Amino acid sequence: MTDITIKYDHGQMLIHLEEFLSCRSISKVRKLIKLINRSDNHDIVNQIKDHIQYRMEGLDNITMITENRIDRNKAEVKDAEMNVQHWLYLRSQHKKGSNGYKHYMTNVKESRDTLKEKKADLRSAEKEYKDSIRDKEFFSKLLSEVFS
């Protein structure tokens, strides 16, 4: 369903629908519909419309899942930050060249690495959430403006 083929008198065109819609350009979709209307098979427009409606239904689930993931990641980042502060406090209790300082310094480095990973996960979840919102807005505009 993600690939559509438009046949003409002198050839054909294969369009990967997911990649085509990922550019989020209404004008390009309008041009595609004009090309489809000039081709032999006009039923492709309904297939595209059905695919967009199907994707919109899936985006609601993705949005809810990523919201939960963002909340969980925010809590993990907060815990990791507290962990870093804890190790920094314990490290500050020792002189810089002592064995205790070196021990706590390794814990500080490990907890900072963990914090960095948790923040990267949070950014990834936030990006996925924003992308799903943008896609949903784009698809709703398509359905209201282009396919109405």
Once rounded to an integer, what is the mean pLDDT over residues 38-67? 89
The whole-angstrom separation of Cα 140 and Cα 55 is: 11
SS3 23: coil
For residue 127, what are its two tokens? 């990006």
Q: How confident is the model at residue 35 (pLDDT cuts 50, 70, 90)?
A: confident
Contact 61, 109 (CB under 8 A): no
Once rounded to an integer, what is the mean pLDDT over residues 139-144? 91
Q: Is 24 left (phi over 0), alpha (psi -120 to 50) or beta?
A: left
For residue 45, what are its two tokens? 């427009």
Of residues 23 and 66, more confidence is placed in: 66
Once rounded to an integer, what is the mean pLDDT over residues 122-128? 96
pTM to 2 decimal places: 0.79
Mean pLDDT of all residues in the chain?
91
Question: What is the structure's pLDDT at 1?
Answer: 53
Question: What is the structure's pLDDT at 43?
Answer: 86
The whole-angstrom separation of Cα 28 and Cα 2 is: 17
Which of 29-43, 46-60, 101-115, 133-147 is predicted least confidently? 29-43
Question: What is the structure's pLDDT at 65?
Answer: 95
Once rounded to an integer, what is the mean pLDDT over residues 55-65? 91
Write out the H or E segment, with its range, that includes residue 12.
strand 12-16
